Amino acid sequence: MNLQWLTRRNRFKKRAVREAPKWQWPAFAGEWRLYARRAALLVLIVGAVGALAWALDRPLRVISMDGAFQRVSPGQIEKALAPFTGDGFMSADLDRIQRAVETVPWVDHARVERRFPNVLHVTVIEETAAARWGGSGLLNTRGELFVREATHVPAELPRLSGPEGTESQVAQRYLSAQGRMLEAGMRIAALRLDERGAWEMDLDSGVTVRLGRRDVDERLDRFIRTASQVIAHRLNDITYVDMRYSNGFAIGWRNAAAPASVPAKRSDDADV
């Protein structure tokens, strides 16, 4: 009896009360502080850089330049730079300045750089005239027509001509042919491309070589291998050599009574 009573009594024992968890600072709050410090540091850095750039962006006071200045004058460069003299040292657009300088006739390329504290330095590279184009135009070494009406055309330059827009094509063929001709002891004085697409060149000896429209490279090689050997000792008597034949060539003599060195063979080229 006593044991049962004790058992029933144990059911009413006071239950232990669980304590509520103590409040803790959220975990993300620490990360927020870290981000805030980083953002503040970034703002300080950007501000410092901006202040430094503002301090350095003083107006350009000096323009210096160098170059050969054989065809281009310093005055022309100064005129091209005039619109930019009020720009700041740091804010000046060097690409725009370079393009402005390169619009000056005879300027092939320009380099523009800043020199602390307020100097703009320009280096000018002038064009190199490689050939004449037409009456008074000039081509550079890339076959580009950079002057259409030159006041002074060097007499020693080869004369190239052709339809509008063929400057590069004619220049490339000249450069290719001239190398082979020089190896053979000859020099091209003029090269022409007509409206029909036919090629003709003048040698510095005064002889004209007609190459036509077809197989131009092969005909040039044949002229160097065979025809040039035949005419080598009679250049003063010859006006032209016509290579527009399938397996031969014809010679035009200054004196019509002069004998032909190689009989003219029938041509298979429609441009003859």
What does the pLDDT read at residue 14? 52
What does the pLDDT read at residue 178? 93
Residues 192 and 162: beta-carbon distance below 8 Å = yes
Cis before 117? omega within 30: yes
What does the pLDDT read at residue 8? 46
Burial 127-140 (b: 16+ CB within 10 A, else e): bebbbbbbeebbbb
What does the pLDDT read at residue 177? 95
Rounded Cα gap, residues 272 and 268, in angstroms:
8
String of DSSP letters for the chain: -HHHHHHHHHTTPPPPPPPPPPP---HHHHHHHHHHHHHHHHHHHHHHHHHHHHHH-PBP-EEEEEE--SSS-HHHHHHHHGGGTTSBTTT--HHHHHHHHHTSTTEEEEEEEEETTTEEEEEEEE--EEEEETTTEEEETTS-EEESS-S---TTSPEEE-STT-HHHHHHHHHHHHHHHHHTT--EEEEEE-TTS-EEEEETTS-EEEEESSSHHHHHHHIIIIIHHHHTT-GGGEEEEE--SSS--EEEESSTTSPPSSPPPPP--TT-
What does the pLDDT read at residue 258? 54
Q: Which domains does the chain have, with CATH numbers?
A: 62-126 (3.10.20.310), 129-253 (3.40.50.11690)
Give the pLDDT means over successive 10-residue stretches in the chain (272 positions): 42 52 55 71 63 61 90 94 88 94 95 90 95 93 90 89 95 94 94 97 96 95 93 91 92 73 52 50
Radius of gyration of the chain (CA): 42
What does the pLDDT read at residue 155? 85
